[in-house]
Amino acid sequence: MFWLKLVRDFISILREGQTPPQVAGGFALGSIIGFFPFFTLQTLVVWLIILILNVNLSAALVALTVFSLIAYLLDPVFHWLGYVLLVQIDALRGLWTLMYNAPIAPLTRFNNTVVMGSFVLGIVLAFPIYFGMKSFVIAYRKHLHAHVEQWKIYRVIKKSTLVQWYEKIRSLKPGV
């Protein structure tokens, strides 16, 4: 139910509402979180950024879901990259040791190979994801929207009673 609503919202956002940079920003930040293997301090920080900046939340959630699946496939790459950065590059060893002894940094679990690999790759990929998504939203709004509205799946989601019921509950105002 929640996810149906999420997909519907995401499609509607692509169509109208928030600006393409807001949607792309939410998607890029969501992709970073999606890459993380488990909850760490940086997950919290990225969530805070998502909440503080006026980026699209649905886009972030969709990106989180999609990139979590991709992350599972990319795990060996994350592990290898993290191992190289943490163990094989002697120049960085001092930095890691410093961070390891710092009061807060260990909460990021940066010394885990998959966390390190996914974080670095997530940050690097966030930029192309942002610009790619931005271009996609603009193109969607111009050319693709009319076609998508004709899709059967879109209409099913839109008319789903579950989604409508969920929207009613959500729209209840305090004190009413």
Partner 1 sequence: MRKNFVLFVLIPLLILLVVVYLFIDRWVEAGLETAGEAIVGANVEIDNLHLSLSPLGIRFSRMQVANPNDPWKNAFETGTVQLTMNFGQLLRAKYVIETMEINDLILGTKRTTDGSLPAGRKKAEEPSSGGPSFSAMAQDLLDKSVEKTPLFDIAQLRKGINIDSLIKAQNFLSVKHIDTLKARATAATQQWQGIQTDLDKSKQRITEISKNVQAINPSQLKSPDQIVTAISAADNAYKSINETVATLNTRKESVAGEIKDIAAAVDSIDDFARQDLQKVKTLVRLPDLKTSGIAEALLGRKMLEDIHQYMYWIDFARTHITRYQSKPEMEKPVRMRGQNIHFPVERAYPKFWIQKASVSGGTDRKQDPDFIYVRGEVRNITNDQTVTGLPMTAALDGTRGADLALALKALFDRTKDLPLDEYHVTVSGIRLAEVTLGRSDFLPSTISQARVASGIDMSIPGSRFDGRLKAQFRNLTMKFGSDPRNVGERIARQVLQGVHGFDVDLRLWNTRNAFDMAFATDLDDQFARGLKDALGAELTRLEGEIRAKVEAKVAEKRKEFETLYATKRREAEKQLAAYQKMVNDNLAIVDSKKAELTAQLEKQKKGLLDDAVNKLFKK
Tell me which residue of 65, 68, 69, 64 sits closest to 30, measured CA to CA. Answer: 64
Q: Is 111 in the site for partner 1 (CB under 8 A)?
A: yes
**CA distance linking residue 141 with residue 125, whole number of Å:** 24
Q: How far is the CB of 93 from partner 1 (least distance, A)?
A: 7
Report the residue from 8, 12, 83, 136 that binds partner 1 according to the rule CB under 8 A. Answer: 83
Smallest separation, CB 150 to partner 1 (Å)? 39
Q: Cβ neighbours of residue 27 under 8 Å, at least 6 residues apart?
A: 56, 59, 60, 62, 63, 129, 130, 133
**Residues 6 or more apart in contact with residue 53 via CB below 8 angstroms:** 25, 29
Least distance (Å) between residue 128 CB and partner 1: 23
Q: Which of 32, 112, 129, 163 binds partner 1 (CB under 8 A)?
A: 112
Asked if 38 is part of the footprint of partner 1 (rule: CB under 8 A), the reply reads: yes
Comparing C-alpha atoms, which of 111, 121, 129, 13 is closest to residue 77? 121
Residues engaged in binding partner 1 (CB under 8 A) = 37-38, 71-72, 75, 78-80, 82-83, 86-87, 93, 96-97, 100-101, 103, 106-107, 109, 111-115, 117, 174-175
